[in-house]
Structure 1
């Protein structure tokens, strides 16, 4: 029996959260959301997502802080896609250096995110599926 992949969407913009949630749920994913970095860190513990879509610029704990918390977790690393309106080379370089798996500049298309998520998750075999 195959279980539904759990995706955590982290963004302080309600429009982006809603867009991504709608698109991912229509594609059959179980979606949880967090509105800021601190909520994201709590959600990673409680939801145990298979994939995280993470905004860089958020109040309080930014996306880099959340990424560091995710990468500090034991076990198999969770794939992380960072989204940012700051398409500066420094932000891009820092994301790669900090261990992000994928990086998209805003504005992005919902199809680009969905294609990336599907491509990554279709190649993974979860322990619960064995």
Structure 2
């Protein structure tokens, strides 16, 4: 008996055993919440996500209060949250602290900030953030950093000082 493997659009078909979906997570129905007080950053992030896949449902918010309101009043429920730190009102630290102390603590939170100060990175890790990305300057690097973070298996990923910060 011969078994063959056929690759079609990121999907491996095993005629005897059925089908195994190996699509990257960002190719599936996926919801991202992103908050930033800078409209230009919101637009750049939107363009970057749209370049990855049309199957990503992106919701953007201009502040921490608006993000929290959306999280506590679904749908949709975010698959992952990208969070800026420096915002007026409820800043990223406040939002992170509130989320990780709530029944929404299982939602992965990725800090997406211009800061790369070790003290700030350490504080985010201690507050329960799942990952830290210093905002890249070039669009291709922004896309790459988002794509990388969407391919992490958040159910198994355990952040620590060695794997917490995105390395381009």
Which bin holds the TM-score, normalised by the shorter protein? 0.7 to 0.9
Q: C-alpha deviations, 1:40-89, integer Å up to 9, x for none?
A: 11121233201000001001101011112221232661111102222222
CA distance in 2, matches of 1:59, 1:12: 8
Structure 1 residues 12 and 101 mapped into 2: Cα distance closer, same or farther (>3 Å)? same
CA distance in 1, matches of 2:98, 2:77: 13
Task: Choose the corresponding residue for 1:50, options 79, 83, 89.
Answer: 79
Indicate the residue corresponding to 1:128 in structure 2.
Answer: none
Indicate the residue corresponding to 2:63 in structure 1.
Answer: 36
Q: TM-score, normalised by structure 2?
A: 0.65
Task: Choose the corresponding residue for 2:47, options 18, 22, 31.
Answer: 22
RMSD: 2.1
For this pair of structures, how many residues does the alignment match? Answer: 121
| 1:104 equivalenced with 2:129 (yes/no) | no
Q: SS of 2:128's equivalent?
A: coil
Larger Rg computed on CA atoms = 2
CA distance in 2, matches of 1:88, 1:99: 17
Q: TM-score, normalised by structure 1?
A: 0.82
